[in-house]
């Protein structure tokens, strides 16, 4: 069994994952192909067509394959580790396919569903309200069956369960996500610099560049040599993307954990009457009489 680090492996993800040692990865972030059948998307957005494979499985085959990939990812993730899985709700001739239907069949604990508001719709026909959202599932591998895990520091948690930023535009890959996405995840979840971040469908290498700039180790897998070459080049020049990373980190502002604020008697977001608030202000400014 292999322990690859700081490289991108070319191959079919499921085959490659099977060669990797169990309990090895700390965090994975990925956006798999969506099985979009390569259909015309509408006027606004280009059709998604990949270099080395066709996104045209039957829906049953697709979901079965995704469950196998998810379960291999679970095996190679350390207990207490996470997978952030970006996907979306799809429709095919009126039939809705929701990622939850195959995620709940995998081994992972579903810790949160995050809405990514991309602020632009891929298809602007009027069959339904314009779909501007994608989803990011935080999937968790419990330690000793504890499905809750550790508390996030509030400076991250305050970013809420709705993430609002645009899709990536300056990238020749047909379906990249913006670097803000993996930067937000890595900086919120991983403090340990020895940690390894994996993207099993690494595409143009966005997750890997984010991991490198945040001082973590990375591992990528993709079927396309062309995308791997592009990613390696991006990793060599990652300093050019530092500004984008800093822009995201500035949003993680509040310093104390919920527990620290509670212990100090500071605001924990609980309802307060106006009188209580006034008293707190007077106390803080030294104007409260005892």
Ligand X SMILES: C[S@@+](CC[C@H](N)C(=O)[O-])C[C@H]1O[C@@H](n2cnc3c(N)ncnc32)[C@H](O)[C@@H]1O
From 8, 9, 13, 196, residue interacting with ligand X (rule: CB under 6 A):
13
Q: By CB under 6 A, is residue 33 in contact with ligand X?
A: yes
- Interacting stretch for ligand X, rule CB under 6 A, among 198-206, 238-246, 266-274, 278-286? 198-206
Tokens coding 225: 């040599």
Pick 153 or 199: Cβ nearer ligand X? 199
Print burial letters for 187-202: b (CB count within 10 Å at least 16), e (below 16).
bbbbeeeebbbbbbbb
Site string for ligand X, 230-249 (x = CB under 6 A): --------------------
Whole-angstrom Cα distance, residue 139 to residue 206? 20
Which of 111/234 has CB closer to ligand X?
A: 234
Task: Select from 127-135, 187-195, 221-229, 264-272 the region that touches ligand X (CB under 6 A).
Answer: 221-229
> Does residue 224 bind ligand X (CB under 6 A)?
yes
**Closest separation between CB of residue 221 and ligand X, Å?**
6
Question: Do residues 152 and 201 touch, judged by C-beta distance below 8 A?
Answer: no
Question: Does the footprint of ligand X cover residue 223 (CB under 6 A)?
Answer: yes
Count of residues in the chain? 290
67-97 burial, b at 16+ Cβ within 10 Å, e below that, comes to: bebbebbbbbbbeebbbbbbbbebeeeeeeb
Minimum CB distance to ligand X smaller for 50 or for 108? 50
Interface with ligand X (CB under 6 A), residue total 20
Q: 81 vs 203, which CB is nearer to ligand X?
A: 203
Q: Which stretch binds ligand X (CB under 6 A): 71-79, 140-148, 168-176, 244-252?
A: 168-176
Question: Closest approach of Cβ 34 to ligand X, in Å?
Answer: 7
Exactly one of 118, 201, 208, 245 binds ligand X (CB under 6 A); that residue is 201
Interface residue with ligand X among 85, 137, 227, 235 (CB under 6 A) is 227
Residue of 204, 210, 211, 228 interacting with ligand X (CB under 6 A): 204
* Of positions 72, 134, 222, 248, contacts ligand X by CB under 6 A: 222
Q: How far is the CB of 277 from ligand X (least distance, A)?
A: 45
- The Cα 83–Cα 237 span in angstroms is 26
Strands 25-30 and 77-87: parallel
Rank residues 13 and 77 by Cβ distance to ligand X and give the closer one: 13
Q: Which residues bind ligand X (CB under 6 A)?
A: 12-13, 31, 33, 50, 52-53, 173, 175-177, 201, 203-204, 206, 221-224, 227
């Amino acid at each position: 069994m292999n322990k690859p680090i700081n490289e991108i492996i070319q191959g079919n993800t499921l085959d490659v994952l099977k060669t990797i040692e169990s309990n090895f990865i700390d965090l994975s972030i990925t956006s798999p192909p969506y099985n979009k059948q390569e259909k015309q998307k509408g006027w606004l957005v280009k059709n998604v067509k990949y270099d080395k494979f066709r996104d045209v499985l039957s829906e049953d085959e697709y979901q079965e394959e995704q469950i196998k990939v998810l379960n291999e990812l679970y095996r190679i993730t350390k207990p207490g580790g996470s997978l952030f899985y970006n996907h979306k709700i799809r429709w095919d001739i009126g039939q809705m396919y929701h990622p939850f239907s195959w995620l709940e069949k995998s081994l992972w604990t579903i810790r949160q569903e995050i809405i990514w508001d991309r602020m632009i719709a891929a298809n602007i026909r009027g069959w339904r309200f314009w779909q501007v959202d994608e989803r990011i599932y935080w999937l968790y591998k419990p330690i000793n069956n504890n499905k809750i895990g550790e508390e996030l520091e509030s400076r991250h948690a305050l970013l809420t369960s709705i993430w609002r930023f645009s899709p990536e535009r300056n990238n020749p890959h047909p379906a990249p996500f913006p670097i803000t996405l993996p930067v937000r995840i890595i900086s919120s979840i991983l403090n340990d610099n020895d940690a390894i971040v994996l993207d099993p469908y690494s595409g143009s290498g966005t997750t890997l560049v984010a991991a490198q700039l945040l001082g973590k180790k990375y591992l990528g897998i993709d079927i396309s040599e062309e995308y791997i070459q592009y990613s390696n080049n991006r990793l060599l020049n990652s300093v050019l993307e530092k500004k984008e990373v800093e822009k995201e980190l500035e949003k993680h502002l509040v310093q104390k954990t919920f527990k620290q604020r509670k212990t100090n008697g500071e605001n924990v977001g609980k309802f307060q009457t106006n009188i209580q608030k006034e008293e707190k202000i007077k106390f803080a400014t030294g104007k409260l009489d005892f």
